[in-house]
């Protein structure tokens, strides 16, 4: 493997780059200055520097320093140490948290075997402190490995990152396959960064993505869930979905047999993701529940059909199918109950919306709006649903707030659930067709 680090770092003085303190949060600057004053090297690094150079507003500012976590804690009163695998310092400024990581060496630099045990190719621990030169090569992509040093406002490039930024190109630091094997989540990060920043993935960095999806099976399910949320709910869901399909990675996140995705399923998923992206773009809240309901709708229908073949009632078939699909999903990545419960409600409300009974009760259901939005997306591909959709569109426009605490039994006997009714739930403006919301709770 060629040495990924340049022979000598490229150091751009303040006059030769565009990173300006005016675009860095006050809290991050405070931390940088505080560390520098205490005698340590402190740099802005990672997504913050990358996004500023690409003209995107950073989501957060990550800081790397020569100070150990204990030294960081001693420097700031408002600081807590977190994490077991990586010990990180969190410096709190009201609701804002600035994350500070000590420079770390990669595992093969460890003197003590125990400090960086490897499980096959995977890193279990890499809490070995090191220099900036060592810190740079454990980062995933070149564009994520630029350091903005506060003492002289210089931009430091050890890995040819500036060239990649100029070419809008995503490239791993070191051998791509080895880096994905060390941490398979980097494959999802590649997709997310390419989608979010409209970067092209360099050929050698891209090639293993087609082959190594199965490595995701070894990633803890909660970490996969976090990554899936970032991929699909950060405002670039459609593009991320396309890339996940292209690299055959979607199957490792959802029980979708993506190789056999049919056009209607594809249309539904894209429409939901496009709505979500639009909501994010306009600053509206989004939750995973609605997308989950959409993504698993087809597997649910297939499971219902399998149940019906066994000769059970429709109600029973739905109940078992729902359990089965959510179990399949949770075997792949762990979705917290607070998201699966609303998704299941959106499903069970579908047949009730199609039956068009008890409009007052339906309209006051806490999940009515999400279920309606889902019906709207389905109706765009299934004209048979249009009359039901029109019925609820009309009712929604003219409805008045409904009574609270009303007992209700399910006509379709769907899964038991708690009812929470809200007084005076807001409806769409009279006469208007409400836009889809993508919001679960």
Q: Which residues are the active-site residues?
A: 60, 62, 140
Stretch in the footprint of ligand ATP (CB under 6 A) among 30-38, 55-63, 81-89, 251-259: 55-63
Other Cβ atoms closer than 10 A to 138: 22
Q: Is 177 in the site for ligand ATP (CB under 6 A)?
A: no
What are the beta bridge partners of residue 80? 90
User: 186 is in the binding site of which of Mg ion, ligand ATP, none (Cβ under 5 to 8 A by kind)?
Assistant: ligand ATP
Other Cβ atoms closer than 10 A to 62: 20
- DSSP for residue 199: P
Would you say 144 or 205 has its CB closer to ligand ATP? 144
Contacts with 83 (C-beta within 8 Å, 6 or more apart), sequence order: none
Residues 126-165 binding ligand ATP (CB under 6 A) are 139-140, 144-145
Stretch in the footprint of ligand ATP (CB under 6 A) among 6-14, 58-66, 156-164, 235-243: 58-66
Give the binding site for Mg ion (CB under 5 A). Answer: 47, 60, 62
Cα–Cα distance, 148 to 156 (Å, whole number): 6
Cα–Cα distance, 16 to 1 (Å, whole number): 32
Q: For residue 104, give the 3-state DSSP assignment.
A: strand
User: 171 is in the binding site of which of ligand ATP, Mg ion, none (Cβ under 5 to 8 A by kind)?
Assistant: none
- DSSP for residue 438: -
Would you say 17 or 196 has its CB closer to Mg ion? 196
Would you say 29 or 245 has its CB closer to Mg ion? 29
Size of the site for ligand ATP (CB under 6 A): 13
Q: Angle at Cα 40 formed by Cα 4 and Cα 103, nearest 5°?
A: 30
Tokens for 413, please give them.
């006997």
Residue nearest to ligand ATP (CB): 47
- Residue of 185, 332, 362, 371 interacting with ligand ATP (CB under 6 A): 185
| Interaction pattern, residues 189-228, with ligand ATP; x per rule: CB under 6 A | x---------------------------------------
- Residue of 17, 19, 31, 47 interacting with ligand ATP (CB under 6 A): 47
Compute CA distances 99 → 82, 90, 437, whole Å.
10, 5, 33
Would you say 185 or 333 has its CB closer to ligand ATP? 185
Other Cβ atoms closer than 10 A to 45: 26
Reported as type and span, the H/E element at residue 31 is: helix 26-37
Q: For residue 62, give the 3-state DSSP assignment.
A: strand
Give the pairing type, strands 146-149 and 154-157: antiparallel
User: 235 is in the binding site of which of Mg ion, ligand ATP, none (Cβ under 5 to 8 A by kind)?
Assistant: none
| Interaction pattern, residues 59-98, with ligand ATP; x per rule: CB under 6 A | xx-x------------------------------------
Residue at token pair 């082959």: 211
Q: Is 46 in the site for ligand ATP (CB under 6 A)?
A: yes
Q: Angle at Cα 365 formed by Cα 359 and Cα 369, nearest 5°?
A: 90
Would you say 41 or 60 has its CB closer to Mg ion? 60
Please report, as ranges, the residues that interact with ligand ATP according to CB under 6 A: 46-47, 59-60, 62, 139-140, 144-145, 183, 185-186, 189
């Amino acid at each position: 493997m060629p040495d990924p680090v340049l022979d000598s770092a490229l150091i751009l003085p303040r006059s030769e780059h565009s990173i300006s303190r005016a675009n860095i949060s006050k809290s991050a600057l405070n931390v940088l200055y505080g560390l520098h004053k205490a005698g340590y090297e402190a740099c802005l690094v990672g997504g913050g520097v990358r996004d500023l150079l690409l003209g995107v507003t950073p989501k957060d500012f990550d800081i790397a320093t020569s100070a150990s976590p204990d030294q960081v804690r001693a420097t700031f009163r408002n600081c807590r140490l977190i994490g077991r695998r990586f010990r990180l310092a969190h410096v709190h400024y009201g609701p804002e948290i600035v994350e500070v990581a000590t420079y770390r060496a990669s595992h093969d630099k460890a003197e003590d075997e125990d400090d960086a045990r490897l499980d096959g190719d995977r890193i279990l621990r890499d809490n070995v402190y090191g220099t900036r030169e060592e810190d740079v090569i454990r980062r995933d992509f070149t564009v994520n490995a630029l350091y903005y040093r506060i003492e002289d406002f210089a931009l430091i490039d050890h890995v040819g990152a500036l060239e990649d930024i100029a070419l809008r190109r995503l490239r791993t630091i070191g051998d791509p396959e080895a880096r994905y094997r060390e941490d398979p989540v980097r494959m999802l990060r590649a997709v997310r960064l390419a989608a979010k920043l409209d970067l092209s993935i360099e050929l050698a960095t891209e090639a293993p993505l087609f082959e190594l999806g199965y490595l995701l099976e070894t990633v803890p399910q909660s970490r996969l869930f976090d990554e899936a949320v970032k991929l699909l709910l950060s405002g670039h869901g459609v593009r991320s979905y396309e890339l996940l399909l292209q690299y055959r990675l979607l199957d490792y996140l959802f029980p979708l047999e993506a190789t056999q995705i049919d056009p209607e399923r594809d249309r539904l998923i894209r429409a939901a993701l496009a709505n979500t992206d639009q909501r994010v773009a306009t600053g509206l809240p989004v939750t995973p529940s609605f997308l989950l309901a959409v993504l698993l709708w087809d597997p649910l229908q297939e499971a219902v059909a399998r149940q019906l073949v066994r000769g059970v009632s429709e109600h029973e078939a739905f109940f078992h199918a729902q359990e089965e699909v959510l179990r399949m999903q949770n075997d792949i990545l762990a979705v917290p109950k607070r998201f699966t419960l609303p998704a299941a409600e959106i499903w069970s409300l579908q047949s009730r919306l199609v039956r068009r009974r008890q409009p007052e009760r339906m309209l006051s259901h806490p999940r009515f709006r999400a279920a309606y939005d889902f019906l709207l997306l389905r109706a765009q591909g299934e004209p048979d649903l249009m009359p039901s959709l029109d019925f609820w569109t009309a009712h929604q426009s003219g409805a008045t707030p409904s009574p609270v605490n009303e007992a209700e039994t399910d006509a379709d006997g769907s899964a038991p659930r708690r009812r929470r009714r809200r007084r005076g739930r807001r409806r769409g403006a009279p006469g208007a067709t409400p836009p889809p919301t993508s919001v679960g709770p």
